[in-house]
Structure 1
Amino acid sequence: MRDVQLARAAEQYGVATTYEDWRGRQVPVSPDTIRHVLSALGVDPKNPARAPGRGPLPPAVVVREGKAPDLVLPEGARSTVETADGSLLPFDPGLPLGVHTLRVTDNGAEHDAPLLVVPDRIEPSALRENPRLWGLMAQIYSVRSRASWGTGDLRDLSELADWSARDLGADFTLINPVHATEPLTPVEPSPYLPVSRRYASPLYIRVEDVPEYARLDPAQREGIQRLARPLRERGRTADLLDRDAVWEAKRTALEILFQVPRAPGREAALRRYQEREGQPLVEFATWSALAEVHGSDFRTWPARLREVSALAVGREALNLWPRVEFHRWLQWILDEQLAQAQESALNSGMSVGIVHDLAIGVQAGGADAWMYGDALVPGLHVGVPPDEFNQLGQDWGQPPWNPTRLAQLGYGPLHQILSQSLRHAGGLRMDHVMGMFRLWCVPEGASADQGTYLRFDHEGMVGTLALAAHHADAVIVGEDLGTVEPWVREHLAGRGIFGTSVLWFENDTEGDPLIPDQWRRDCLATVATHDLPPVASYLSAEHVELRDRLGLLNRPVAEELADSEARVAQWCELLVYLGLLEEDADPVGDPAAVVAAMHAYLAATPARMLGVALTDVVGERRMQNQPGTSTEYPNWRIPLTSSEGEPVLVDELLADPRMVARIRRTLGPIGGQSRNM
């Protein structure tokens, strides 16, 4: 880059001027992109200030447990640590885990910074006590039952987890993010584009499991059931999911239940929950109430309401207090049902239970962006650069964290989100875990390939994750697919954070499939992910034809088809060689045989965790999500169906002997022993 001053500013603030693409080529970043990113961070590219900090201190100090601090203070400076409980300790090894405050006196001036003491490595008990863990992976909104209201809910999750543990010996159930959605329709269908990651979506509430439902008189219960019946009827078809209809009906029913007088014990439990959640819950509920009046993008609200701390916001919250209370109550109900799902999973014999999924970000105008303010960067969108499967790149429309401001806050917003996600979970999948190191940031209005990487202090980010996981005794799985610097995977492995290995991507330097013992050990091994086609679709190359129809290919469809067929042939050849697949097996005519062989292959790897997609065991062919599309494809609206396109309901799944036999065949050596007595 010829502009030396711009390059220095970029380096100072962690903005990449070049990057390596998926083919291993060095790609220069345009100066305009760099200027846009710096400006969004509040930096004048022509006159950047020195690196932000607090006198002799950086924005935050991060120390691994038992390790000596590597921060060098000026000669003569005095330091002390005020711990989270108010104790004063020297700045030495042996500090307790937690978020503290480092205070430094230098030349008569007082300085302070957050001090994070974090685990060097997490060692969750489930991994200490079990040589291998396995579980089903499901988009829970798509897993319906006769009783759910047209989309899967937390009772359906409980029943799926209970059955897979008792009958199949599963250790966990990994689900999509259940983050908060808009309080009014239309509801964003993507679970990876929420309004808040700290709180959950009431779409997942099972209305009849709210205890106050039993206190309704028969006429009131019948009124609620009239809301549910048409949704249940639609839920027994393969029609696309209609979240808007579901939420309209559920919101009406929940508003009725909110008005039911609570028993004294229930009222006390609600108050305890509200006290524990404190101000953040009030802020989230206030955003929800304001969004019902002004829309779900706070950037379009009256100017006086766009700052969470504004006096006008407090006055408006008082005016809307019944709605604020309703949204606080909804989160309490969700907290109860999330707890019940995890309790059910553990009581069924699972060693981990529910593994939740944390999206990489939130909507730019949503609740978290409003609540966390300048901890996020407006004007930038998180995404990914072009790669083999998404050749145009991706723009997810989500603002990134501001690296400096997040550190100055002691990574508090991130820690709150992580702790809440782990409150009723045995594990957490971190979508796009590379975001703890760097994020691909696209200036608003630019195409997805016109971005650059923004770096974070990974010691602070990963340390915060390790601290939350340690307190929850949770398994952490990072989704580290795509373009990843090798040292990133090494760092995560060293901290006890598992990676993700996907069969289709596990190739050697020549592009040939790896033999099983060449896979890494500390990972979640799967055949595919929610962003890839189900195996049946992959084997028939339907996914290539789909991407061609949607205009997502950068080269002739014939070349893509040839590559896809060659890849399938390579894998089938290896499976035959390993004795896992019959030589005359037809991957298109009998995809179930290949699916079973692929899972037997996974079982032969050293991977400590194995994930089996529910879509693959029932024969689903449709993708849940086609990256690079929005309205062109019905992303996140596909109900679970069989290979024949018939709906698969969770209660029927458990009772259908043919389906159970198919599942057992698919699982093969992965499935454990039944825990039924």
Structure 2
Amino acid sequence: MKLSLVDQLAEMRGIESNYIDAWGKPMEVEPQSKVRILEAMGYVIEDEQKLQQQLGQESEQAWLEPLDPVLVKRQGEQLVLALRLPIELVNDEMILRIVDEQGALADQRIVASDGVLIDATHIQDGEFQEYLIEISTTVEQGYHQLRLLADDEDEIACMRLIIAPPACYKPDAIKKGDKVWGLSVQLYCLRSERNWGVGDFSDLCFLLGEAAERGAQFVGLNPIHALYPANPDACSPYGPSSRRWLNFIYLDVSAIEGYGHPEVQKLISSGEFQARLGHLRDADYVDYQGVMALKLEALNLLFEHYNNQYLKGNTRQNRAFKAFVDTGGESLQILACYDALQAHLKQQGKDYWGWPVFPEAVKQYGTPQVEKFKKTHSQQIKFFLFLQWQASIQLENAHKLAAEKQMCIGIYRDLAVGVSEGGAEIWGNQSLYATDASVGAPPDILGPLGQDWGLPPMDPKQLYRQQYQPVIDLFRSNMQSCGALRIDHVMALLRLWWVPKGNNAKTGSYVYYPVDDLLAILALESERNKVLVIGEDLGTVPEEIRETLTNNGVYSYRVFFFEQAKDGGFFSPSHYPEQSMATLTTHDMPTLTGYWHCLDLELGKTLNLYPSEEILRSLYDSRHNNKQRILDSLHAHGSIPDWIGREVEQVGMSKELNHGLQMHMASGSSALLSLQLEDWLEMDKPVNVPGTYSEYPNWQRKLSKPLESVFSRGELQDLARGLTERRKHVSEGD
């Protein structure tokens, strides 16, 4: 009986019992995995009586709420809502009032019993009935309120009504068939003669300008989400503190108004400061601790003078700052308070890595002790609000520059799949997250042991109860100051692999999410913000979700090295779907040079990533075969000169082979082609080695050349010219 109840509850909560693995083999989820996931969702599985009571309370709560929290529909679809009422009210006349975003009202008089009866139950000796009610009003796209009023206009219930367009936005140039190319880069990797040891928003402006001059239509970035200023070595862009706000390490301090103040200049020009700056700038790997310390030292002094001069009266700057803070709302206040609190705990010598180790009284936002902290540390919180404001200004300036350069996309941003366990986003909304579980992936070709990313998942039920506001905020904030958004692991809109805390990654299960609702919201935000959407759909992806994503206007993500036929040959990029972004490699893969010379396998051996010599040998054999097939394909398509050998044993990576691979991709049918700046520079070291934490300096390796010298190199100017011409020919059908 208990197992049956668990299975029923697991099915009700969207926990998968069976799935198809990366090798096409049917797999069954272990019963204990389902139990652990249900426990992470808050169910008391070990006590059947308590569980029955809990389920009864949930059912009763649902019946006592006349309307669902939210209804999501596409424009033009028939609107039908479920209405639950005590039997004594089902024959009463009521008013359904739709209030749109402009405050306009549309009323419809209804009697519940005129609808279709679909369910009934008894609660505490009273009968409740559920009816389907058709809404006759035509509702435009947007976020609206639907209120249920009694005949005397007293409000009985309220729900959110979301009306979305059929699909995501496409820029006019892409819509008419233009094939474009751009560069992708990890922003922190950028070297320049003027930055402070980490790439910044001014470097981004320089890169956008130079790339646009040479025909590129976009520059793609790593996630630039807020990380941890008090803990800078937690530097993975895919494990952020908050996905709604920016990592202010990317600020160009010298571009902030007030940088020229004499006291700020005295600090900057001091011998000690310049020596630290020179060291940080020259290092081959980003020293996050050093960079953050240097920038915060200057920013604190700059803010002190800026605050006194501009943020205490009715100045233009203060009005703009206050408007930014008001628009940012509670989410911005949570992050600024969190950053100040974490810095305060660190200064006191207390545990500070994340809210799970904070003192009990401040373990979540909104407690009396946190409110007290906000009052006593208001100036420090204002400082962090100021930094977010300045970061948003500098990113927006880069976006405007791309528009001035007439790039059809400009900046494309990257949205991480989750936030790390100790971050501000969870601290401020703990009921939304299942902190006793983590997002990951089942075993696949790249990760035969499965993957655990250490990112607590959102509970889909809580997301629904919060009217999808967290995901609306997430999409909207990441569509600011850009022309495209890449969604990392886009499968998260359909399902996520939950790994219960303490389990290994193999013993998890998929948990399903309301994909139709989430895609509708994505389409609405995409259309409103005029942002194209790219879905990173690598790994184990059911074919039906690919079709769903395509129908919703989401661009697929096609990586050349993964596009293999069953016979081992590589598909020509001319066979890729037009609605896709093609690329040669990603941030989780070796560079072209690293791949061709098997440097990633050599590094993996050094880092003990392979269980046995036999597995490593099989990887070498597979790589050898793949390289031969690639060479065959490049020659067959005339993408490389005839003088390059045809036997892989005799062909090393060269400039001609490197550029040939890029030109081969440029001949493809994908609307978008993204090429990594590392491969332009023929670099060999990866930026990230999956499966490592401290064994390799992930997310720290800089580019080998400063930006100022990259675009002056003749061979790269020729490459850019060739890419632009090739993409134009493909656009014209040549």
> With structure 2 as the length reference, what TM-score do the two structures score?
0.86
Q: Which residue of 1 aligns with 2:289?
A: 244
- What is the alpha-carbon distance in structure 2 between the residues aligned to residue 316 and residue 510 of structure 1? 63
- Alignment of 1:570 with 2:629, yes or no, is yes
Instruction: Give the match's secondary structure for 2:168.
Output: coil
Matching residue within 318, 323, 336 for 1:272: 323
Aligned to 1:353: 410
Identity %: 27
Asked if residue 117 in structure 1 is aligned to residue 163 in structure 2, the reply is yes
Seen in structure 2, the aligned counterparts of structure 1 residues 613 and 194 have a Cα distance that, compared at 3 Å, is same
Q: 1:326 to 1:585 in 2, by over 3 A?
A: same
The residue number in structure 1 matching 2:126 is none
How many Å separate the matches in 2 of 1:92 and 1:552?
61
Write out aligned runs for 1:258-337 (5 A): 258-261=303-306, 262-263=309-310, 264-294=315-345, 295-337=352-394
Please provide the CA RMSD for this pair: 2.6
Change (3 A) 1:218 1:363: closer
Question: Does the Cα contact within 8 Å between 1:653 and 1:660 map onto a contact in 2?
Answer: no
CA distance in 1, matches of 2:274, 2:17: 55
Counterpart Cα distance in 1 of 2:450 and 2:274: 41
One-letter code aligned to 1:370: W
Matched residue, 1:582:
641
Is 2:39 the counterpart of 1:39? yes
Number of residues of Structure 1 aligned to a counterpart in Structure 2? 665
* Alpha-carbon separation, structure 2, partners of 1:187 and 1:560: 32
1:278 to partner: Cα distance: 2.6
The one of 227, 231, 238 equivalent to 1:185 is 231
Q: Is the 8 A contact 1:572 1:594 kept in 2?
A: no
Q: In 2, are the aligned partners of 1:418 and 1:468 still within 8 Å (CA)?
A: yes
Separation of aligned partners in 2, 1:160 and 1:440: 37
Aligned residue in 2 for 1:100: 144
1:592 matches 2:685: no
Amino acid at match of 1:243: Y
- 1:363–1:92 CA distance, 2 compared to 1 (3 A): farther
- The answer to whether 1:253 aligns with 2:298 is yes
Residue 711 of structure 2 is aligned to residue 654 of structure 1: yes
Deviation at 1:104, TM superposition (A): 4.6
The 2-side partners of 1:41 and 1:4 are apart by 18
Instruction: Please state if 1:63 is matched with 2:73.
Output: yes
> Could you report, residue by residue, the CA deviation over 1:159-183 in whole angstroms, capped at 9, with x for unpaired residues?
01110001x1111100001111112
**Alignment correspondent of 1:146:** 193
Cα distance in 1 between the residues matched to 2:567 and 2:321: 59
Task: Return closer, same or farther for 1:18/1:407 CA change in 2, 3 Å cut-off.
Answer: same
User: Secondary structure, in 3 states, of the residue corresponding to 2:381?
Assistant: helix
Query: Which residue does 1:81 correspond to in 2?
Result: 98
Q: Deviations over 1:247-285 (max 9, x none)?
A: 010011100110114453222221221222233222221
Shift in CA distance, 109/179, structure 1 to aligned 2, threshold 3 Å: closer
Equivalences for 1:622-641 in 2 at 5 Å?
622-641=685-704
How far off its partner does 1:420 sit?
1.4
Cα shift at 1:439:
0.7
Change (3 A) 1:631 1:671: farther
Gaps of 5+ in 2: 85-89, 109-134, 346-351
Q: Residue in 2 aligned with 1:7? A: 7
Q: Distance in 1 between matches of 2:586 and 2:305?
A: 42
**CA deviation string 1:505-545 (max 9, x = no partner):** 11223332113332111010111111111111111122222
Matched with 2:112 is none
In structure 2, the partner of 1:645 is none
Gaps in structure 1 of 5+ consecutive residues: 642-647
Tell me the secondary structure at the aligned position of residue 556 of structure 1. helix
CA displacement at 1:373 relative to structure 2: 2.2
CA distance in structure 2 between the partners assigned to 1:230 and 1:83 by the alignment: 56
From 175, 193, 213, the equivalent of 1:128 is 175
CA contact (8 A) 1:617 1:663 kept: no
Shift of 1:301: 1.6
Question: In the alignment, what sits opposite 1:644?
Answer: none
Structure 1 position 72, deviation (Å) = 5.1
Change in Cα spacing, 1:539 to 1:671, as seen in structure 2 (3 Å) is: farther
Q: Aligned partners of 1:312, 1:411: CA distance in 2, in Å? A: 29
Over residues 89-109 of structure 1, what are the superposed CA-to-partner deviations in whole Å (9 max), with x where a residue is unaligned?
353463122222334579999
Larger Rg: 2
Q: Is the 8 A contact 1:14 1:455 kept in 2?
A: yes
Q: Compared with structure 1, are the counterparts of its residues 371 and 609 closer, same or farther at alpha carbon in structure 2 (3 Å cutoff)?
A: same
The CA distance in 2 between the partners of 1:240 and 1:423, in whole Å, is 29
Q: Is the 8 A contact 1:381 1:443 kept in 2?
A: yes
1:158 maps onto 2:218 in alignment: no
The one of 677, 683, 687 equivalent to 1:620 is: 683
- Larger displacement relative to structure 2 (401-410 or 42-51): 42-51
- On the 8 A contact 1:66/1:93 being kept in 2, the answer is no
Q: SS of the counterpart of 2:244?
A: strand
1:81 Cα offset (Å): 2.8
Q: Do the aligned partners of 1:500 and 1:524 also contact (CA within 8 Å) in 2? A: yes
